[in-house]
Structure 1
Amino acid sequence: MPDPMSRRTALAGLGALGAALLAGCSGGSPGPAGGTLLPASDSGTGTAASDPPSPTPSPTPDVTVTTVTGPVTVPGGATRVVTLDTAELDSAMTLGITPVGAAKAPLDAGLPDYWPASRLAQVAVVGDIGAAPDAARIAATRPQLILSNQTRDGGHDGTLRALAPTVLTPTTGYPWKDGFQLHAAALDRREQAAAVTGAYARHIDQATRAINGAGAGGKRISIVRFVEGEAPTIRLYGRQSFIGTVLADLGLGRPDSQNADRPDTGITPDQLAQADGDYLFHATYGDPVRSGAAAVLASTAWQGLGAVRAHRAFPVDDQLWFQGIGYTGANLLVAELQRALGA
């Protein structure tokens, strides 16, 4: 699997592509640290007497988006955004907006580290994903828009709307492409979103051809996750998950136990044979001991899996593979999969 340096290199390349796409769509230039796209401006210190006075910029019209909870009106061109789940964070960052605040996964020390530290340093952590919102911490960021989903914050809608216009997608994970389009509409960045999705489609096409050319097309890919608090249960991920959609985009196969229209299913260590595949990728959320990962990975049953014996079982970054729900996360996943499959 890619080492940290190769991921930083890949992210830098994707970031450069994203910046070019966003600048090309906006007709402006990359903005300040918050990622705002601003029109190009004169760098002089004054205006010549013969020059007409600069017109006062017209305010950006408000944007109204349709959500499952009804229409929500958002200030046009909102840049002071708070994201309360990882898909929302990926959408905003991919579209060039560094949120002023974001919620982190409860068992993680910080926000997903597939993003550059220089950008994450600008984001105030306002609480944990799925927890009751910390209204004081969110209000301190002076948000213009809050992005989340009903799965995490459906019961907190009233609290959030009192702080700023709040746009909720129905859920997270599997319908992440639909969620991205709603986020782009709320952020008034539909044109940039079209560039992002077009670039992803081209990346998928290139990677699929490379994987097929390496003879790995159609290989059965097993996705395994150990989660603190769920041991001895082990999660196997199905087609209706973020990682499941990326594998489907690449035309890769799944083991029978995961080739189903569901987000995931739980097995116990005595059912570990169901986790086997031609390639196996596994991650741990939380503590390796309390999640059961340490014991399972040291077990005879794990060592007997075909993918393990063939040296095709790879530990992967949980924050990217399971929390990196969005186009930047997906592009990085495609790059890691392509390398692991020898393409």
Structure 2
Amino acid sequence: MAPLRRAGGLFAAAAAVLTVVACGASSTPAVPATSAAPGASAAAPAVREVKDATGTLIKVPAEPKRVVTLTQEDLDAVLALGVTPVGITNGQGIDTPPAYLADRVKGVPIVGNLLQPVIDKVVEAAPDLILAGDLQDQQVLDQLRKITPATVVTMAPTDDWKLSFMGVGNALNKLDVAKKVMADYDARVAEAKTEVKPAEVSIVRWNPQGPSWMEKRQFAGFVATDLGMTRPAAQDKDGTAHSMPLSLEALSDIDGEWLFVSTLTADGEKTLAEIRQTPAFKELKAVKAGHVVSVNGSVWSTRGAPLAAAVVIDDLVKALTAG
């Protein structure tokens, strides 16, 4: 299996465990305020020490004021936690912020593309905390840490979206808020289960090279599993990756009672349009039943976060109640 995206060798094998440790990292107590002598400088801001997804100990502000996010997952997470960042990157595969978050970030400066920050623009944003997603370019990380040492890698390749989100909550010193967000997610899942019956769902990203199906702990697959959905036999894999692009001869691997398909690029959309006209695609049982649903790739094909999870739940409920 190929990793979902952006995976590489910077992370330790136990990255997921280290992120859990980060959620319990101890805080450095703030020094009590005292009367300063005339002309004395103000006390330095209080800091905390957290462990990021690479296992690195990072000192971060106890109360971050100026947060920059380098991935849409981190952007989604901070917005869900009630924080408006001072700098963001464009969404995956696009040159604008993700459409589902656009209304929430109007006027926020763009500091680059996904995991490709423009250093001068990051400097202009004057962050006191940078959430670097799964950035693995050590040279870029070093440059960012010259802007602020509080540059936190928030995702490891094998982390699921819930674990990464709690890591962001820890970095922002908002674990209580993060727990409330997850409780709200669980409540929405419970509500959705009363609205739809379990079904077999195939979750596919269509690339220019062909379709790739998602494993069960990949973001959208995770949400579907939470809702009690099952997966076709070929997709019943408990991982966070996607398959290699399939040939026409292997299209049966994407078949299911329902087929949810996303694309990220114009080339992917073109390929999907061409494949839809082939006999092999038309023979899929989901196609024959009229159960093929096009969904937003910038939501379904990402690493995921709470606001995106709400969109996936709504998409599933809408399709399954209409069908």
One fold, TM greater than 0.5? Answer: yes
Q: CA deviation at 1:189?
A: 1.1
Report if the CA contact (8 A) 2:130-2:152 is conserved.
yes
Residue 187 (str. 1) matches residue 172 (str. 2)? yes
TM-score (norm 2): 0.79
Aligned-pair distance for 1:174?
Answer: 4.9
Tell me how far apart the structure 1 counterparts of residues 92 and 189 of structure 2 sit (CA, whole Å): 32
Equivalent pair of 2:161/2:303 in contact (CA under 8 Å): no
Return the match for 1:175 from 157, 160, 182. 160
**Partner of residue 226, structure 2:** 249
* In the alignment, structure 1 residue 88 sits paired with structure 2 residue 74: yes
Return 5+ residue gaps in structure 1 as ranges. Answer: 1-57
- Counterpart of 1:163, as a letter, is I
Who is 1:134 aligned against?
A: 118
Q: Tell me how large the CA RMSD over aligned residues is.
A: 2.2
* 1:289 Cα offset (Å): 5.8
Letter paired with 1:62? V
Rounded to whole Å, the distance in 2 between the matches of 1:273 and 1:139 is: 50
Given that 1:278 and 1:306 are in contact with CA atoms closer than 8 Å, whether structure 2 keeps it comes out as: yes
Deviations 1:226-276 (A, max 9, x none): 23xxx3232111113111111111111001121113311021222112111
In structure 2, list runs of 5 or more residues that go unmatched. 1-42
User: Residues 1-343 of structure 1: matches in 2 within 5 Å?
Assistant: 61-67=46-52, 68-105=54-91, 107-117=93-103, 119-131=104-116, 133-153=117-137, 156-164=140-148, 165-171=150-156, 174-211=159-196, 216-217=197-198, 219-227=199-207, 231-262=208-239, 263-266=241-244, 267-288=246-267, 292-323=271-302, 325-342=304-321
Inter-CA distance 111–233: structure 2 relative to 1 (3 Å threshold): same
Deviations 1:51-107 (A, max 9, x none): xxxxxxx98732221223422111222131111112111111111112111122463
In structure 1, the partner of 2:39 is: none
**Structure 1 residues 290 and 180, CA, compared in 2 at 3 Å: closer, same or farther?**
closer
Task: Assess if the C-alpha contact under 8 Å between 2:61 and 2:128 holds in 1.
Answer: yes
Task: Provide closer, same or farther for how the CA distance between residues 158 and 60 of structure 1 changes in structure 2, counting only shifts above 3 A.
Answer: closer
Deviation readout 1:134-164 (Å, 9 max, x if unpaired): 2111111111111123455555321111112
Shift of 1:116: 4.4
Indicate the SS of the match to 1:92.
helix
Moved more, 144-153 or 266-275: 144-153
C-alpha separation in 1, matches of 2:291 and 2:145: 48
Q: Per-residue displacement from partner, 1:167-221 (whole Å, max 9, x unpaired)?
A: 112425852111111111111211211111111111111112322xxxx31x211
Q: Which amino acid aligns with 2:205?
A: R
Distance 1:199 1:312, change over 3 A: same
Distance 1:326 1:136 in 2: 28
How many Å separate the matches in 2 of 1:289 and 1:265?
Answer: 16
Separation (CA, whole Å) in 1 of partners of 2:107 and 2:157: 24
* d(CA) in 1 for partners of 2:217, 2:280: 27
Q: CA deviation at 1:291?
A: 5.9
**Residue 102 of structure 1 aligns to a residue in which SS?**
coil
Partner Cα distance (2:321, 2:195) in 1: 9
Q: Distance in 2 between matches of 1:159 and 1:59?
A: 23
Question: C-alpha separation between the residues in 2 aligned to 1:61 and 1:210?
Answer: 47
Residue 327 and residue 293 in structure 1: after superposition, are their counterparts in 2 closer, same or farther (change >3 A)? same
| Amino acid of the structure 2 residue aligned with 1:206 | E
**Alignment size in residue pairs:** 276
1:151 and 1:172 in contact (8 A); partners too? no
Contact 1:239 1:261 in 2 (8 A): yes
